[in-house]
Amino acid sequence: MTYCLAIAVDSGLVLASDSRTNAGVDNVNTYPKMFSFSVPDKGFFTLLTSGNLATTQAVVHQIEQDLKHDLDLAEGEKPVGSFAVCKDMNEAAKYLGTLAVKLKNYYERDLNQAANFDCTFILGGQIIGEPCQIFMVYPEGNFIQNSPYSPFLQIGETKYGKPILDRVIKRNTSLEAAARCALVSLDSTMRSNLSVAPPFDLMIYEKDKLEPAHVMHYKQNSPYYSSMRKRWGEGLMELFNDLPLFDWEKNDK
């Protein structure tokens, strides 16, 4: 499984991912699921990946190839279509979705294989002069943007970590608070689903900077993650133990 999420607040973006992959419970590995592309004179793009690892790796490889091609165009040569030539984030999401469908169709249709080659992505970033945005790209190639009322998107094992996002995240949440919330959300998910696990990648992108403001990589014992996790766990137990008593408990006192 996987858990990745992206948050779009007024001041920028937060992107976060776990790194566990598994092909059955007896074949567990650690792979990055966050990939960034800084395109000179164009913008900044970050991809979060879930689903079939062969397909997601093929997609990332092809994005790099297309980008290289379109940035090194010879005189009179046409671009193949890539992040370098998208006019807005919407077009970038469409490029990504189309690419993913084409790549999985090679195995599904050309080679006529029956496995599940699907993958789902979150694409976040900013094109110069455009707002920064996040999109969820489905295995069918189509895509959605986040709701303005709940400005986050999740892929993979989304439920365990959603309640804290529902409570905390608003458009005017600070980037740092959004990043802490993403880490709490990853931590809650990891505790309830073994197929989500650190290291966690966490990135903060400030609007209009066209490069990440902070890139963190947290292992289980990284000092900040450990101390946040300890405080959150202890604080939850304190809060729980301090909840109002039932009527009969008061009378017993």
Q: What does the binding site for a copy of itself look like in residue numbers (CB under 8 A)?
A: 159-160, 162-164, 166-168, 176-177, 179-181, 184, 188, 191-192, 214, 224, 227-228, 231-233, 235-237, 239-249
Shorter beta-carbon distance to a copy of itself: residue 72 or 247: 247
Shorter beta-carbon distance to a copy of itself: residue 61 or 231: 231
Contact in structure between 231 and 199 (CB atoms under 8 Å): no
Q: How far is the CB of 190 from a copy of itself (least distance, A)?
A: 10
Shorter beta-carbon distance to a copy of itself: residue 100 or 181: 181
Shorter beta-carbon distance to a copy of itself: residue 128 or 245: 245
Q: How far is the CB of 27 from a copy of itself (least distance, A)?
A: 24
Contact in structure between 103 and 59 (CB atoms under 8 Å): yes
At CA 73, angle to CA 72 and CA 77, rounded to 5? 165
What does each C-alpha distance from 51 to 40, 56, 62, 120, 219 come to in angstroms? 30, 7, 17, 6, 22
Shorter beta-carbon distance to a copy of itself: residue 208 or 234: 234
Contact in structure between 32 and 4 (CB atoms under 8 Å): no
Q: How far is the CB of 192 from a copy of itself (least distance, A)?
A: 5
Contact in structure between 225 and 200 (CB atoms under 8 Å): yes
Q: How far is the CB of 239 from a copy of itself (least distance, A)?
A: 4
Shorter beta-carbon distance to a copy of itself: residue 133 or 173: 173
Contacts of residues 165-173 at CB distance under 8 Å and 24 or more positions apart, as own/partner, are 165/5, 165/7, 169/7, 169/9, 170/9, 171/9, 171/10, 172/9, 172/10, 173/7, 173/9
Q: How far is the CB of 154 from a copy of itself (least distance, A)?
A: 11
Q: How far is the CB of 230 from a copy of itself (least distance, A)?
A: 9
